Amino acid sequence: MKEIFKGLWSAMFTPTDEAGLPQMEQLEKLVHLLIAQGQDGLYVLGSTGQGVLFTEAQRKMVLEMVIKTAGGRVPVMVQVGALTTAESIRLAVHAAECGADAISSVAPIYFSGSVANALQHYRKIAEATDLPFFPYQLGNNTMGDIPSFIEQLLQIPNVAGMKLTTGQLMEISAIHLQAGDRLQLFSGADELMCHASLCGANGAIGSFYNLWGVACKRVLEAFKEGDFGRAKNFMLEFQKTILYVLPNIWTFFRKAMQLKYGIDIGPTKAPLGLNQEEWSDAEVLALSDKIEAAAGITNTGSQ
């Protein structure tokens, strides 16, 4: 089972309409796109997918659509973290019932408390099903002493790995050095997908892979095969672009997905993304062309 938890996975958008409701037609198109691009897996209803902002019923409906559309062609991992542990458990059970390959969860969202509290929250979710469980960590938030945290985490049933959204590479290394092959690690920082592999990460889960999945997968695989030059040139261009678009990232994503793939991911659910500025078509396409050129992709898709 472990062999499927590696490579490049999109932290999927959840397309919405203007009222903030999940837009199923656009979601289905996105799933088909990501699979056609050769992505290794799909991560559903995480931060990029605005999961915690949807109702429980909406989250279940979104997951069911993704799994049905994917049709077993790629593994699907769903983020089940919610405001209450009870809701997270119900979402985990639903994930198992409808055929997800793994579940993931953020730490307690509001009443975070101590490391012990986070571990107990994780345990209750993990015990609810037999699915592989991947806690989602934002840096060392709730981890405290990393070696101690990892050893306690490994005592929880079904824990298979972690999603690590941290810019601190030493944190990834510390977790890998403590866990070894007992945990499959995914880097959740798009801008460090190559760097994290040097620290023990088996794969990467990120938002920008919705847009540039082909380019990012090509570069990550080339880097692992020893093409340092291509990886360096690409990652510097990628990081420059990420820094540039971050202040208006959702409007950038929405415009880019529309222009490149004809998929409208819709607006964010307020208060997220309020007051973001709109982008011109020309600038969005120019930025995308630079990223793909840095990966060795031409307008015809050739190398």
Whether 209 sits among the annotated catalytic residues: the reply is: no
Active-site residue, from 43, 122, 136, 209: 136
Residue 25 to residues 62, 69, 92, 160, 176, Cα–Cα distance (Å): 11, 11, 25, 32, 40
Name residue, tokens 């509290």. 117
Residue of 60, 163, 217, 255 with catalytic role: 163
- Is 260 tagged catalytic? no
How many C-beta atoms surround the C-beta of residue 112 within 10 A? 14
Report yes or no: 31 and 69 within 8 Å, Cβ to Cβ.
yes
DSSP string covering 10-21: EE----B-TTS-
Sign (positive or negative) of CA dihedral 76, 82, 88, 94: negative
Q: Which two tokens stand for residue 296?
A: 């060795």
Maximum Cα interatomic distance, the chain, rounded to a whole number of Å:
53
Catalytic (active-site) positions: 136, 163
